[in-house]
Amino acid sequence: MEEITLVGIDLGKHVFHIHGQNKAGKAVFHKRVSRKQLVEFFATLHACTVVMEACAGAHHMARKLATFGHKVKLISPQFVRPFVKSNKNDFVDAEAICEAASRPSMRFVAPKTESQQTLSALHRVRDSLVHDRGRSTNQIHGFLLEFGISLPKGQAAIRRLPALLADQPLPPRLIAILQRLHEHIKYLNQQLDEIEKDLNHQLSEDDLGQRLLTIPGVGPITASVLAAEMGDGKQYGSSRDFAASIGLVPRQYSTGGKSNLLGISKRGDRHIRWLLVQCARAFMRQLGKYSAPMADWVRSMLTRRHPNIVAGALANKLARVAWALTTRHTRFEARSIAMAGGLIASTHATSFT
């Protein structure tokens, strides 16, 4: 076992498949083990590089194996898929993980800490509750519309639902169904309020989150999501790499020496991208309150580009600022946005056409 330098693990719920290679890339062993056997195996194995796909359970396993002295790397599954040879099975997947990790240009995912995973789980629960509330609200609108009653948009109309039902000649069973949906929405609102209080409490104790809140347009939800997902930001080589990882840079289709930039790529984490675009729109709605160079840049962009394009460009800029604040341990300064050597470089408007 002394010659093993690289081990690939195909993760599972109960069963794991591992593939070991030496320095020359020759296969040394492959095994099928349980979770307990996997931990025991790496506890006795000499320190080496261990590679896994960044999927369910990968971050916990990365932290566990790192305590044994191993160097653990995570790879996005989309980068492993091209190295799967012929028919797919678990051992072939483990071998493909080793093959992908051997590439010098491979991109890796930084393992998350327990606090980052907990905060990420809290956000996923919040998103689920928000979607559930929207689904229940739409059901109420749809049921009432079937009986000729059209409610205004928004939660205000739902809050006035009991008074509305008392004035309308509706079937008693339908009223009972609508009341049950109304109580469910009230419960969801209470849960969302508690989650947001928890998020604000965690954010108040997080130095990075407080620094991210200094960015114009960025609120507690976006700041806590960025703090949980970006970590220390060192896994990205530059601010543009972070913006590219969430799909806020132009998609390129160039050939024959001719450069052709399209719309934003929309790759990566769509939730973070959506939040940053909403932050950009919030900044644009309150543009009159700002006099900093960023606001002047947005005003200039709005004179020659559609607001949707400006929102995408500004979201790109906010992502770059967030990365700079994270890696440099600084707070947002409005004047530094205009400096060529400041936090970020100015983005060309043509990149978002």
301 Cβ contact list (under 8 Å, min separation 6): 309, 310, 313, 314, 349
Give dist(CA 76, CA 54) in Å, integer.
5
Of 103, 52, 105, nearest to 76 by C-alpha is 52
Please say whether the beta carbons of 71 and 48 come within 8 A.
yes
Q: Is 4-101 a domain of CATH 3.40.47.10?
A: no
What are the residues facing 49 on neighbouring strands? 6, 71
pLDDT of residue 334: 65
Per-residue confidence (pLDDT) for residue 349, from 0 to 100: 33
| Domain range summary for the chain, segments of one domain joined by + | 4-101, 114-205, 208-352
Q: What is the pLDDT of residue 3?
A: 84
Q: What is the pLDDT, as a whole number, of residue 335? A: 59
Contact 280, 311 (CB under 8 A): yes
Cα 341 to chain centroid distance, Å, stands at: 28
SS3 104: coil
Distance CA 18, CA 29 (A): 8
pLDDT, residue 107, reads 86
Q: Largest alpha-carbon pair distance within the chain? A: 81
pLDDT at 2: 58
Distances in Å between the Cα of 112 and the Cα atoms of 96, 105, 235, 267 are 23, 22, 11, 20
Average pLDDT across each block of 10 residues of the chain; the chain has 353 residues. List them in order: 83 91 87 91 90 90 92 90 86 90 87 85 92 93 89 84 83 91 94 91 84 89 87 83 87 80 81 92 86 86 90 92 89 57 35 34
In eight-state DSSP terms, residue 217 is: T
Contact 236, 249 (CB under 8 A): no
How is 236-288 classified by DSSP, letter by letter?
SSSHHHHHHHTT-SEEE--BTTB--EEEE---S-HHHHHHHHHHHHHHHHTGG
Per-residue pLDDT at 128: 94
**Cα gap 261→131, rounded to integer Å:** 34
